[in-house]
Amino acid sequence: MNSASDPARGPLAGIQIKPISREERTMRKKGVVFLAAMLSLVFAARPASTDVGQAPPAADQRSEAAGGLAEKQFADAVTLLKQENFADAIAAYEKVIQLLPGSSIAQDARYWIGQTYLRMGKSGEALAVFKKLLEDYPGSPIVPVTQLMVSRAEQEIEAEKARAKKAAASEPSLIVDPATGAEFRKVHTFSGKSDVLLGLGGFFSPNGRFLLSEKTVIPLDGSEPFPLTDKEAWRGSWSPDGKKAAFYAENAIWVVPVSPETGRPSGPAKKVLDGKYVFQYPVTWSPDSRKIALPRRDDTTDGDIWVLSLEDGALTRLTDEPWYETNAFWLPDGKSMVYLTRGQRFEIRFLSGPGEKPKTLAEMEVGELLPLSPDGKWVAYKDRQNFRLLRIADQRIFSITPPEGVGSFHSWSRDGERLIFRRSSYEYKSLLRIGSTSGGPTFELARGIDLWPYQQTWSSASDRIITHRADDNELVMIPLSGGAPLPVELGAATGEKSKPLAFSPDQKRLAFAVDRDDENEDLYTVPVTLDEPGTTGPPVLVFKDWDRRQVFMQMSWSPDGQKIALIHKGDIWLTSATEEKRVQLTNTPEIEGGPKWSPRGDKIVFNSEIKEGDTRLRVISASGGEATTLMTPSVRHCWSPDGKAVTVVSDKKLLNMPVDGGKPREILGLTAKGSTEQVWDLTWLPDGKRIAFAAEPEKARGTSSLICVASIGTGETVELASDDTGWKDGFFLSPDGKWISYYTDQFIKTRPASTIWEVKLEDLIKEKK
């Protein structure tokens, strides 16, 4: 966890961003494994100045060595903390402090010792750590977040005094399904260092001695897990003979020989197919372990099922359909397959062999195909979140509702007579995190509360954040200093089916949409206050029968809060914020999108799609007239602070494009920092001298992203939130420019241990025959 307070650590190097499809984002979210998070520290030690000149080279080498050891200890501490191995995490942080006392990384380590005490429920110890850190380093960039943690620790101390401690109820070893009488028996518990079941949950080795979770091999005898490969790898799966394993790494498919007795590699891994393989579902093996089936994905093919021979490298195409096919499972005969196709509806299909016509076994609006039974008689799948079993012989479907305490379906026993369920100690959650624009570590806001933080609004005083609760999607306001979220009461005025969209710039009105029976929406605004969060008057219909083409955000408030620009049927319209007074600005065959008002309120910039892949960045006067094309194709952009130009990314530079004519002006070069022009979320800070943006590091494509602030005058770039090495989808800047908030999705440990359960198939379906 490098600190952005030291620009020598956490440089912007090798950044490359690409647009992310909904499907890719879903794959990424399913594949996040935060225990694999690694630091990207580049520590530059500076020898102390003396009267006799620079320190000798040997001193430099010793300092560099100490920096490397400190980085490694910090990385170890990160892993231990996320495993909730608190004592060892604190010990690892303390070693960092011993190696480089007083350094930025040592300050970060002291901060995280305080955070660790908070997570242990030792608020008094945490408070002492934070106060001492403030006392020792009053001018450090770590001060803002540490001050907030002092408030948080004090609140926790008061809360601990008010609540009684309750001992956690012990988990039973037998759970009986009340609907069928089926008995679910706990057969294994993963705890401590073995409790790393993340992502898709892993695969049992054929001999039942190991579990392969992504790239981590977990021995079932309780011994310490170990990596299958040193590469950043995902989606590991065993071959049926137990002598090989396949995984994704470096955008390719790899196969490595393994020992069935030890689970460890018995030879070097071999790349068997290049492409774009990261977070797709794992490859599946033929019964003889000589072939793998995969949804091929490269520059020429995306989504059809192919078979790769591991003996001669031959590729055979099995499907050639317009939809996306995935999750192909072999039946025991080695010829037949069951796979999932994802088109307008999801279908589970049976293919009797190459060249044969597939047969549809089941269809659903959205779902997921799960492993087949080893005897090939049963298909397990999800219809939305509902678990189903399909008997291939007669295509009969059984709906299964497992007891809550056993988790979700994982796999089958080797004889196919029992189903295996997994209850992970981790849950996949969306987190709201806060960081200072001065640098330093981040902290989680509203820890332990389920949020849907993909829309965030800062209060004008920069002391509160408004976002959505996860369970009911209601708006809540969260104090930056901690405390329980306050609901923003909208129900009585807006109705139960309202969808809050955006607050006006002065935060005195809220725009929300209500679904119509024809799948369009009606757009309303309602007066609100954030002092006692809620409405202060009745809502007003401002745009009836709104067709935004099901795009998430297609509206923008004018700076004075008097008008709203929106996309309706692919064109730009304006309406009053207090009455339905609609005016059409564009009337073109192109599809417009993403309208943004200029800070001066006189113009609107937007994207225009001529045809698929052919886009323009355009600007139009808010009073009407012809639109002007600024760039082809459209690129990531934002308004300049004075509203006279649009800031864009082009050819590894940030440019200001004058909206009233004139030549573009380069304001920041990205090449020197090893970055590309592919960045997103361009946001100017209030001082007009710095710009923030998000970027993806070259060495961690698809798994990590950066938030950076660059000075236009000096070109200096500082990485923010550098202690969070995961994927940060988007960020929001506080009005005073001192804070950033962002959302990230991670597996969070919520139980002491993960458990594996078994149930007999015949018992599970006996009431459903």
Question: The tokens of 763 are what?
Answer: 């018992």
User: Tokens 């995306």 appear where?
Assistant: 302
Percent of the chain with pLDDT over 70: 86
At 191 the pLDDT is: 83
Average pLDDT of span 367-387: 93
At 37 the pLDDT is: 27
Lowest mean per-residue pLDDT among 382-396, 545-559, 569-583, 712-726? 545-559
At 211 the pLDDT is: 94
At 164 the pLDDT is: 38
* Alpha-carbon distances, residue 668 vs 9, 599, 649, 764 (angstroms): 21, 21, 10, 64
Q: Which residue has the higher pLDDT, 143 or 701?
A: 143
Q: Is the pLDDT of residue 504 over 90?
A: yes
Q: Is 86 helix (H, G, I), strand (E, B) or coil?
A: helix
Average pLDDT of span 218-245: 94
Average pLDDT of span 267-287: 93
Q: Would you say the C-alpha torsion 423, 424, 428, 431 has a positive or negative sign?
A: positive
In Å, how far from its chain's centre is CA 177? 34
Q: Is 241 helix (H, G, I), strand (E, B) or coil?
A: coil
pLDDT digits (tens, 9 = 90+) for 467-503: 998 877 789 999 998 778 899 988 666 666 788 899 9
Average pLDDT of span 698-725: 83
pLDDT digits (tens, 9 = 90+) for 175-225: 998 888 899 999 999 887 788 877 666 899 999 999 999 999 999 998 999
Question: The tokens of 452 are what?
Answer: 């849907």
At 22 the pLDDT is: 36
Is the link from the previous residue into 287 a cis peptide, with omega within 30 of 0? no
At 494 the pLDDT is: 63
pLDDT digits (tens, 9 = 90+) for 308-363: 999 999 999 999 887 889 989 999 999 999 999 987 789 999 999 888 899 999 99
At 34 the pLDDT is: 23
At 45 the pLDDT is: 30
Q: Is the pLDDT of residue 302 over 50?
A: yes
Q: Is the pLDDT of residue 430 over 60?
A: yes
Average pLDDT of span 581-593: 94
Q: Is the pLDDT of residue 27 over 80?
A: no
User: In this structure, what DSSP letter does residue 265 have?
Assistant: B
Q: Is the pLDDT of residue 768 over 60?
A: no
pLDDT digits (tens, 9 = 90+) for 107-141: 999 999 999 998 888 888 999 999 999 999 999 98
Q: Is the pLDDT of residue 64 over 50?
A: yes
Could you tell me what percentage of the chain is helix, strand and coil, using 3-state DSSP and rounding each to the nearest 5?
Answer: 15, 40, 45
At 551 the pLDDT is: 62
* Alpha-carbon distances, residue 165 vs 96, 121, 159, 161 (angstroms): 34, 11, 11, 10
Average pLDDT of span 224-235: 93
Q: Is the pLDDT of residue 620 over 60?
A: yes
| Amino acid of residue 100 | L
* Alpha-carbon distances, residue 621 vs 533, 542, 597 (angstroms): 35, 21, 10
- For the chain, list the domains and their CATH numbers: 33-47+56-158 (1.25.40.10), 175-197+318-425+751-769 (2.120.10.30), 427-749 (2.120.10.30)
pLDDT digits (tens, 9 = 90+) for 529-552: 999 899 999 999 999 999 986 565
At 24 the pLDDT is: 38
Average pLDDT of span 38-44: 27
373-381: long-range pairs with CB below 8 Å, 24+: 373/412, 373/416, 373/761, 374/332, 374/412, 374/414, 374/415, 374/416, 375/332, 375/416, 376/331, 376/332, 376/333, 376/336, 377/416, 378/416, 378/761, 379/338, 379/348, 380/409, 380/412, 380/419, 381/340, 381/348
Q: Is 92 left (phi over 0), alpha (psi -120 to 50) or beta?
A: alpha
Q: Is the pLDDT of residue 86 over 80?
A: yes
Percent of the chain with pLDDT over 90: 56
Distance CA 490, CA 494 (A): 6
Q: Is the pLDDT of residue 740 over 90?
A: yes
**Nearest in space to 595 (alpha carbons), one of 633, 562, 634, 632:** 634
628, 659 Cβ separation under 8 angstroms: yes
Q: Is the pLDDT of residue 651 over 90?
A: no
Distance CA 313, CA 307 (A): 10
At 646 the pLDDT is: 97
Query: CB under 8 Å to 180, separation ≥6 — which residues?
Result: 763, 764, 765, 766, 767, 768
**Nearest in space to 354 (alpha carbons), one of 318, 329, 327, 316:** 318
- Characterize the bridge pairing of strands 563-568 and 555-557: antiparallel
Q: Is the pLDDT of residue 421 over 90?
A: yes
Distance CA 278, CA 214 (A): 11
Question: What integer best gives the mean pLDDT of the chain?
Answer: 85
Q: Is the pLDDT of residue 6 over 60?
A: no
The dihedrals phi and psi of 243, each to the nearest 5 degrees, come to -100, -5
At 200 the pLDDT is: 62
